[in-house]
Amino acid sequence: MHELSLVSALVEEVSRDAQERGVSRITSVSLAVGKRAHALPHALLFCFDLIKRDTILAAAQLIIEVIPPLFHCESCGLSETHDALWLDCTCCGLPAVPTGGTELEIRGYEGDCPRGGKEN
Ligand SMILES: [Zn+2]
């Protein structure tokens, strides 16, 4: 499963970063997933629940923000966000080029800080 390796990398990255900051327990992770990223949110959630066990993310919740595709028209320069996999420019009708929506990025995470202060 493709999502399994994605989530595995995500858990590793967050764990490493949290350990560097002295965070002992993660409570939530925010992930931006583009519609064109070829990763299904429900599969990501399923894999996350499997992989997080026995890590400092064991009690963490995965929060997924789905990013709609962004299209750019090369003839008239219009950029628009549209919830579709392909699009004809709404201004001039020519096929627009997809320029976004392939994100798969960790937007941030929250956890317990051992020093009792705030994150960031
Ligand atoms: Zn156009």
- Domain definitions of the chain by residue range: 2-68+100-112
Rg (CA), the chain: 18
pLDDT at 83: 82
Tokens representing 78 are 């219009």
Non-local CB neighbours of 64 within 8 Å, separated by 6+ positions: 31, 32, 33, 41, 44, 45
Rounded distance between C-alpha atoms, residue 65 and residue 112, angstroms: 23
Q: What is the third-level CATH fold of 2-68+100-112?
A: hypothetical protein PF0899 fold (3.30.2320)
Please tell me what DSSP assigns to residue 95. B
**Residue 44 confidence (pLDDT) above 70:** yes
Tell me the three state secondary structure of residue 88.
strand
- Residues in the 5 Å CB sphere of ion ligand 1: 73, 76, 78, 89, 91-92
What confidence score (pLDDT) does residue 116 get? 54
Query: Each residue of 100-116: pLDDT tens digit?
Result: 888 999 999 999 876 65
Q: Give the Å distance between the CA of 14 and the centre of ligand 1.
A: 40
| pTM for the predicted model, two decimal places | 0.79
Using the mean position of ligand 1's atoms as its centre, give its distance from the Cα of residue 105 in Å: 29
Q: How high does pLDDT run on average in the chain?
A: 91
